[in-house]
């Protein structure tokens, strides 16, 4: 495993140090930026690019930048970057909200499944605080374009949310996936079922 660190970031250039796992120097790289030479190492990574200003986005962009520097044909093109508010209750959102999906011309269908009807939420005494999972999909082909949740520990659903959108899941994929009982993730399954018109526990 090698590591990349910035020695100096100037206005138009960046000097990088690439080391091996023992910290030994493998290479020093000078990249000119904003001059159209290869990847813009400063401008293509992290908060400098703009929203969303999130750690996991910066790291993913850095991985792509390093691979481009190493000569690989890679580009940063995620379907979604999930975001979490680590508040009480937590809020997680991936992809489009219903209104955003509508504005994007998706003619969306959306459905909410409340944690009041989720066994794990009830056992954690998090079922009566108004928490929910919402799924947003295109009416035409049921492709999932957004997933949101509010409630205790819902940040742990962000991986399933992002992967569903990244892999182009349809409502039938979420509804057809057997989710472990009792978990909060069952609410994802039930929201998809509800969007398809046949929720079981509500």
Distances (CA, A) of 186 to 30, 120, 142, 149, 201: 50, 9, 19, 12, 10
Does the footprint of ligand FAD cover residue 47 (CB under 6 A)?
yes
Does the footprint of ligand FAD cover residue 3 (CB under 6 A)?
no
DSSP labels, 142-182: -BEEEEEEEETTGGGGHHHHHHHHHTT-BHHHHHHS---TT
Residue with token string 């349809």 = 170
Among 2, 8, 12, 167, binds ligand FAD (CB under 6 A): 8
Among 3, 53, 103, 104, binds ligand FAD (CB under 6 A): 53
Which residue out of 181, 189, 198, 201 is catalytically annotated? 181
Does the footprint of ligand FAD cover residue 54 (CB under 6 A)?
yes
Does the footprint of ligand FAD cover residue 95 (CB under 6 A)?
no
Q: Which residue is nearest to ligand FAD (CB)?
A: 46
C-beta of 39: minimal distance to ligand FAD in Å? 15
Rounded Cα gap, residues 34 and 44, in angstroms = 10
Residue 172, Cα to own-chain centre: how many angstroms?
21
Closest C-alpha among 74, 72, 76 to residue 60: 76
Residue with token string 């495993």 = 1
Does the footprint of ligand FAD cover residue 199 (CB under 6 A)?
no
Does the footprint of ligand FAD cover residue 88 (CB under 6 A)?
no
Closest C-alpha among 131, 32, 44 to residue 90: 131
Among 4, 33, 46, 92, binds ligand FAD (CB under 6 A): 46
C-beta of 61: minimal distance to ligand FAD in Å? 8
C-beta of 97: minimal distance to ligand FAD in Å? 19
Closest CB to ligand FAD among residues 116, 155: 155
Rounded Cα gap, residues 148 and 139, in angstroms = 18
Does the footprint of ligand FAD cover residue 17 (CB under 6 A)?
no
201 belongs to the catalytic site: no
Q: Which residues are near ligand FAD by CB under 6 A?
A: 6, 8-9, 45-48, 53-56, 58, 86
Active site residues: 181
């Amino acid at each position: 495993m090698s590591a990349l660190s910035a020695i100096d970031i100037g206005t138009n250039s960046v000097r990088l140090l690439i080391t091996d796992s023992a910290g030994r120097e493998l290479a020093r790289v000078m990249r000119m930026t904003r001059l159209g030479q290869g990847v813009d190492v400063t401008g293509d990574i992290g908060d400098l690019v703009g929203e969303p200003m999130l750690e996991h986005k910066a790291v993913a962009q850095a991985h792509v930048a390093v691979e481009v520097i190493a000569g690989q044909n890679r580009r940063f093109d995620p379907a979604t970057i999930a975001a979490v508010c680590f508040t009480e209750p937590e809020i997680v959102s991936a992809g489009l909200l219903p209104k955003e999906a509508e504005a994007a011309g998706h003619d969306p269908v959306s459905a909410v499944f409340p944690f009041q009807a989720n066994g794990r939420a009830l056992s954690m005494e998090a079922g009566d605080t108004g928490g929910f999972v919402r799924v947003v999909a295109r009416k035409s082909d049921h492709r999932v374009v957004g997933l949101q949740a509010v409630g205790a520990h819902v940040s742990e659903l962000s991986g399933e949310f992002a992967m569903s959108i990244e892999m182009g899941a349809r409502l039938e994929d979420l509804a057809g996936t057997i989710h472990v009982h009792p978990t909060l993730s069952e609410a994802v399954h039930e929201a998809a079922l509800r969007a398809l018109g046949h929720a079981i526990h509500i």
